[in-house]
């Protein structure tokens, strides 16, 4: 089997890249180790930045998102029993975010790919990327749909969208790789519940007992999170205990607000980590999404960073084909990493501002409260949060002239 671009992984990054290339008339093949049902039900991120929404619409994948997604013009910060709303459009010149789950993004892109795009092979496990430093890279893979036989996909370029545990990153030689990472001593206990959300926007709460986040999946489904110690088993928490703890951490002096409770349909624990692999390119192998970087979920950046990566790569491949100019492709790693590190900075700042470390002192508590007070009283600080939350430019050509080096 031969194609121009071999894509490993049918998450949002791989699927969107395939769609963008198809629109440009560039052939691709997508290999996904899981079956379609698994890809369409795995729960991941649910906040789409303004730029991500715009890209999905331009790709022809925005119709259902526009019907069913929930546009949000702000978030609420809670601390010391206070409530403060951050108004995104007022601070960013009109930008906002949309609540639309990654599972739904994948469903939309899969339907488009199967109807219009190149091959999308489910249950096709990538075994290795070979020849990344040559002009003829290849992907060895095993396709369960063909009696588990080993196959080879020959490509002009290979893109690893196969996540942290995938094989693509291992094809980058250790001697040229640099890894930057940080672990956190806490995790998120997340729930889905069949009850309408208790607030029409996301609520981020800093409390002496730990962080809490009130979110949603739809007008009838609540998504909520609690900070818990790293290594917590979700089954150790009874449903009533979770609701009681959310009530405590979200408490305010506003008697009009109450937490709505309902049947918990799913529970899970998400570990917290920051990770960046440099470079994001080796030869004709390109890394995108979680294969290259991971952020703690506090800043809602993971899915959006992946979108930024593949938009940058698609534009570079189109420029090379149309103009014979390899400059953008050669700059892929540097271009993406500027945005990645800004997202890492923002996610780290949000995480450390809102979560209480196990060894936190009274001094640490006051520093957090001072930081939150600054955010809610200084327009410049609030603007920085709003601009970061609604999205950094997708690549160099989208950056304001005054922000360019």
pLDDT per residue over 201-245, tens digit each?
A: 999 999 999 999 999 999 999 999 999 999 999 999 999 999 999
3-state SS, residue 46: coil
3-state SS, residue 323: helix
Segments of 162-263 assigned E as strands = 178-193, 202-205, 212-218, 221-229
Residue 144's pLDDT is 76
**Percentage of the chain lying above the pLDDT 70 cut:** 96
Torsion 102-106-107-109 (CA) sign: positive
Residue 393's pLDDT is 74
Joined together, the tokens standing for residue 362 give: 């009274």
Mean pLDDT of 282-304: 96
The answer on pLDDT for 148 being more than 70 is no
Torsion 151-153-158-160 (CA) sign: negative
Cβ atoms of 297 and 42 closer than 8 Å: no
Residue 220's pLDDT is 94
Cβ burial of 371 (10 Å; 0-12, 13-18, 19+) is middle
CA dihedral 169, 175, 177, 180 (to 10 degrees): 120
Relative orientation angle of helices 12-23 and 102-116, to the nearest 10 degrees:
40
Residue 402's pLDDT is 44
* 140 falls within a domain: yes
Cβ atoms of 27 and 3 closer than 8 Å: yes
* 213 falls within a domain: no
Residue 42's pLDDT is 79
pLDDT band at 149 (very low <50, low <70, confident <90, very high): confident
Residue 404's pLDDT is 45
* 352 falls within a domain: yes
Cβ atoms of 11 and 306 closer than 8 Å: yes
Residue 405's pLDDT is 40
Tally the domains of the chain: 1
Torsion 345-348-350-353 (CA) sign: negative
Mean pLDDT of the chain: 94
pLDDT band at 394 (very low <50, low <70, confident <90, very high): confident
Its domain, for residue 9, covers: 5-73+96-180+273-357
Residue 147's pLDDT is 65
Residue 212's pLDDT is 98
pLDDT per residue over 22-68, tens digit each?
A: 999 999 999 999 999 999 987 777 899 999 999 999 999 999 999 99
* 348 falls within a domain: yes
Q: How far apart, in whole angstroms, are the C-alpha atoms of residue 287 and residue 309?
A: 8
The answer on pLDDT for 77 being more than 60 is yes
Strand duo 5-8 + 157-160: pairing = parallel
Q: How far apart, in whole angstroms, are the C-alpha atoms of residue 87 and residue 80?
A: 20
Joined together, the tokens standing for residue 108 give: 């939309």
* 236 falls within a domain: no
pLDDT per residue over 183-200, tens digit each?
A: 999 999 999 999 999 999
* 123 falls within a domain: yes
Residue 401's pLDDT is 42
Instruction: Look up the CATH number of the domain holding residue 348.
Output: 3.50.50.60
Q: How far apart, in whole angstroms, are the C-alpha atoms of residue 243 and residue 249?
A: 10
Instruction: Please tell me what DSSP assigns to residue 175.
Output: G
Catalytic residue numbers, as ranges: 72, 204, 297, 301, 389
Given strand 5-8, what is the order of strands in its sheet? 120-121, 28-31, 5-8, 157-160, 285-287, 281-282
pLDDT per residue over 299-334, tens digit each?
A: 999 999 999 999 999 999 999 999 999 999 999 999
Q: How far apart, in whole angstroms, are the C-alpha atoms of residue 36 and residue 46?
A: 20
* 242 falls within a domain: no
3-state SS, residue 269: strand
* 82 falls within a domain: no
pTM for the full model?
A: 0.93
Q: How far apart, in whole angstroms, are the C-alpha atoms of residue 25 and residue 79?
A: 51
């Amino acid at each position: 089997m031969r194609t121009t671009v071999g894509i490993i992984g049918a998450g949002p990054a791989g699927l969107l890249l395939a769609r963008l290339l198809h629109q440009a008339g560039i052939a691709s093949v997508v290999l996904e180790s899981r079956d379609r049902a698994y890809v369409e039900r795995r729960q991941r991120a649910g906040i789409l930045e303004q730029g991500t929404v715009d890209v999905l619409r331009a790709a022809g994948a925005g119709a259902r998102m526009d019907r069913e997604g929930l546009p949000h013009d702000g978030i609420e910060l809670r601390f010391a029993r206070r409530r403060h709303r951050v108004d995104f459009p007022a601070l960013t010149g009109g930008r906002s975010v949309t609540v639309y789950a990654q599972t739904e993004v994948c469903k939309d892109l899969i339907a488009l790919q199967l109807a219009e795009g190149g091959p999308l092979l489910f249950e096709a496990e990538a075994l290795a990327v070979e020849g990344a430093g040559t002009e003829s890279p290849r992907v060895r893979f095993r396709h369960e749909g063909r009696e588990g036989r080993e196959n080879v996909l020959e490509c002009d370029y290979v893109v690893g969208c196969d996540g942290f545990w995938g094989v693509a990153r291992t094809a980058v030689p250790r001697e040229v790789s640099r890894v930057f990472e940080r672990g956190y001593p806490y995790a998120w206990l997340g729930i889905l519940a069949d009850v309408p959300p208790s607030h029409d926007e996301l609520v981020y709460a800093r409390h002496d007992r730990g962080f809490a986040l009130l979110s949603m999946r739809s007008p009838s489904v609540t998504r909520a999170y609690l900070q818990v110690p790293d290594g917590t088993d979700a089954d150790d928490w009874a449903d009533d205990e979770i609701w009681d703890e959310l009530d405590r951490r979200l408490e305010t002096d506003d008697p009009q607000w109450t937490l709505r409770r309902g049947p918990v349909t799913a529970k899970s624990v998400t570990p917290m980590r920051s990770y960046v692999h440099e470079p994001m390119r080796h030869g004709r192998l390109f890394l995108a999404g979680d294969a290259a970087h991971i952020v703690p979920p506090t800043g809602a950046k993971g899915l959006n960073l992946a979108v930024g990566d593949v938009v940058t790569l698609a534009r570079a491949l189109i420029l090379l084909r149309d103009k014979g100019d390899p400059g953008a492709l050669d700059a892929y790693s540097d271009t993406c990493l500027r945005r990645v590190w800004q997202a890492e900075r923002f996610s780290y700042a949000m995480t450390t501002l809102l979560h209480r470390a196990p060894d936190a002192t009274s001094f640490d508590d006051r520093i957090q409260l001072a930081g939150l007070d600054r955010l809610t009283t200084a327009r410049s600080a609030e603007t920085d949060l709003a601009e970061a939350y609604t999205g950094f430019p997708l690549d160099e050509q989208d950056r304001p002239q005054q922000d360019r080096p």
